[in-house]
Amino acid sequence: LRKTTPVRYDQTRECWDVFRYEDVQYILKNPKLFSSKRGIGNKRESILTMDPPKHTKMRNLINKAFTPKAVNELTQRIQDVTIFLLDQVKAKGIMDVIHDFAGPLPVIIIAELLGVPIKDRELFKTYSDILVAGAENDSDEAFKAMMKKRQEGAEFLTEYFKEIIRERKSSPKDDLISLLLAAEIDGEKLTKEELLGFCILLLVAGNETTTNLIANAVRYMVEDTVIQEQVRSDLSLVPNFVEETLRFYPPIQAIGRIATKDVEIGGHTIRKGSQVISWVAAANRDEQKFVQPDRFMLERHPNPHLSFGFGIHFCLGAPLARLEAKVALSILLTSFSKLERVEHVELEPIQSPFVFGVKRLPIR
Ligand code: HEM
């Protein structure tokens, strides 16, 4: 598609698809031409669906919780949780990477960061998965059922967070919700709605994506045992391995925008108000940008993949996701002398055009 129809209109989905690196990057770095204001199954506004100047203000407010320095302070805790999770599966001799390892890790970390009790983590996983789940099939009924479930999930989490926010207001703790309750920009605080929207966004944006990054990395390792051995024998290669996994198997395949005026891309005029889907997964394999794009290259450097987006909406949680993946994979590799797939189990993809990952990944 990148070669034959790099920009195309899809009548059925009523949107434009864009596949080339240069075009995708152009869209993401021009928020004035391509707005983020779009519905994502949840009516509450979040920074993900805001444009400047409101986006800039909100992002500045929450930025400091996610700087690499702030995130690095979580290293020890991420190590402890990783070791705890692996200890639990070691005795079994087999594990489902999603259920036993890559699923719980980000939920535990974000729940602790927000100040949510760990006992609720199963509940969080369930509801954050519901919020990002795709429809069972292409029918209208399946779409309606999905929207209904998402609505219910959002309502549940809203009530849940309302309670926590109420508690933190009267007795602040050393957590993100307390920090956000106290934060101000130009003398203004976040409204309750904004705070709620942000809490839910962190669960939705951070959990499944990081789970899929870790699981996609393990999947690649069991598919390519030469690379697995190379990384195991030199753990300083883990960060490169994580970046190449992000490029090769991006957890988020595409990013949506709305054209704010008539714009020309690749010889096509995209009319104001049209939906535009930027296919990050295709851009990451663009031969105009990457040498041998279909080869997984540990030594690839620089690696300017677009898997965390680009420009003003660049993933706020990227330092956290990278750290979690680095710690989780390093400890996994040192804990097991060889990781192998359980052959008779077919890999089943997650049912969503925008998410790349599998539902289960049994390994031993
Ligand atoms: C934004 C991907 C992990 C929080 C984004 C965007 C992408 C992305 C592509 C840009 C969306 C756009 O331009 O519309 C990923 C991937 C992750 C990951 C692949 C894991 C491998 C996380 C984590 C958190 C997080 C762990 C937080 C705990 C956010 C937030 C935004 C965002 C808050 C919105 C930023 C803004 O609009 O300014 N992410 N993300 N993400 N991500 Fe992530």
State the average pLDDT over residues 198-224: 92
Which atom of ligand 1 is closest in space to residue 250's alpha carbon?
A: 19
Is residue 41's pLDDT more than 60?
Answer: no
ipTM of the complex: 0.99
Let me know if residue 349 belongs to a domain. Answer: no
Closest residue by CA, ligand 1 atom 36: 313
The two structure tokens encoding residue 184: 């101000």
203 lines ligand 1 (CB under 6 A): no
Q: Which residue has the tokens 């069991």?
A: 222
Q: Angle at the Cα of 282 (from 281 to 287), degrees rounded to 5?
A: 125
Give one DSSP letter per residue of 35-89, joined into a string.
Answer: E-----S--S--GGG--TTHHHHHHHHHHGGGSHHHHHTTHHHHHHHHHHHHHHH
Query: How distant, in Å, are the alpha carbons of 77, 109, 133, 141, 228 from that of 148?
Result: 36, 28, 11, 10, 42
Q: Where residue 328 falls among pLDDT bands split at 50, 70, 90?
A: very high
Is residue 125's pLDDT more than 90?
Answer: no
Let me know if residue 347 belongs to a domain. Answer: no
What is the span of the domain harbouring residue 273? 7-337+355-359
Q: Which residue has the tokens 């993949």?
A: 305
281 lines ligand 1 (CB under 6 A): no
CA 214 – CA 276 distance, rounded (Å): 29
Let me know if residue 205 belongs to a domain. Answer: yes
Report the first-to-last Cα separation within the chain, whole angstroms: 37
Closest residue by CA, ligand 1 atom 38: 313
**pLDDT tens track for 234-271:** 999 999 999 999 999 999 999 999 999 999 999 999 99
- Percent above pLDDT 90 for the chain: 60
CATH of residue 277's domain is: 1.10.630.10
Let me know if residue 137 belongs to a domain. Answer: yes
Let me know if residue 348 belongs to a domain. Answer: no
95 lines ligand 1 (CB under 6 A): no
CA 93 – CA 311 distance, rounded (Å): 44
CA 123 – CA 125 distance, rounded (Å): 5
308 lines ligand 1 (CB under 6 A): yes
Neighbours of 255 (CB within 10 A): 23
pLDDT at 121: 73
State the average pLDDT over residues 221-230: 96
**Among candidates 214, 226, 209, 210, which has minimal Cα distance to 296?**
226
Structurally, the chain folds into a number of domains equal to 1
Query: How distant, in Å, are the alpha carbons of 116, 119, 212, 234, 364 from that of 97?
Result: 24, 21, 10, 22, 10
State the average pLDDT over residues 205-214: 93
Mean pLDDT, all residues of the chain: 90
State the average pLDDT over residues 210-225: 97
Neighbours of 184 (CB within 10 A): 9
197 lines ligand 1 (CB under 6 A): no
Would you say 285 and 294 are in contact if contact means Cβ atoms under 8 Å apart? yes
The two structure tokens encoding residue 303: 């690696």
Which stretch of 129-133, 293-297, 322-326, 351-355 has the lowest confidence by average pLDDT? 129-133
Let me know if residue 364 belongs to a domain. Answer: no
Q: 264 by DSSP, 3-state: which? A: strand
Q: Where residue 127 falls among pLDDT bands split at 50, 70, 90?
A: confident
Instruction: Report the separation in Å between the CA atom of 206 and the middle of ligand 1, taken as the mean of its atom positions.
Output: 7
Is residue 39's pLDDT more than 60?
Answer: no
The two structure tokens encoding residue 244: 């190449």
325 lines ligand 1 (CB under 6 A): no
Let me know if residue 1 belongs to a domain. Answer: no
Let me know if residue 125 belongs to a domain. Answer: yes
